[in-house]
Amino acid sequence: MSQDKQLPLRERNRLRTRTDILDAAAETLSEKGYSATTIEELSQRAGLARGTLYAHFPGGREEIVREAYLRIADAVYVRGLALRGEAADLPGRIAALARAVVESAGTAAGRFYWRTGPDVVPVLASVMGGTSRSFEELIRLDLAAAQASGQLRDDIAVEALTTAFSGAFRASGARVAAEPGCAQEQIAAIRLIAQGLLASAAV
pLDDT computed for residue 198 by the predictor: 77
- Give the tens place of pLDDT for each residue, 63-118: 999 999 999 999 999 999 999 999 999 999 999 999 999 999 988 778 888 878 88
Question: Residue 8, class by beta-carbon neighbours within 10 Å (0-12 exposed, 13-18 middle, 19+ buried)?
Answer: exposed
In this prediction, the residues of the chain whose per-residue pLDDT falls under 70 are: 1-5, 203
Q: What is the pLDDT of residue 44?
A: 95
Neighbours of 170 (CB within 10 A): 14
pLDDT of residue 3: 56
pLDDT at 19: 94
pLDDT at 112: 85
- The secondary structure of the chain as a DSSP string is --HHHHS-HHHHHHHHHHHHHHHHHHHHHHHH-STT--HHHHHHHHT--HHHHHHH-TTHHHHHHHHHHHHHHHHHHHHHHHHHHH-SSHHHHHHHHHHHHHHHHTSHHHHHHHS--TTTHHHHTTTTTHHHHHHHHHHHHHHHHHHHTTSB-TTS-HHHHHHHHHHHHHHHHHHHHH-GGGHHHHHHHHHHHHHHHHHHTB-
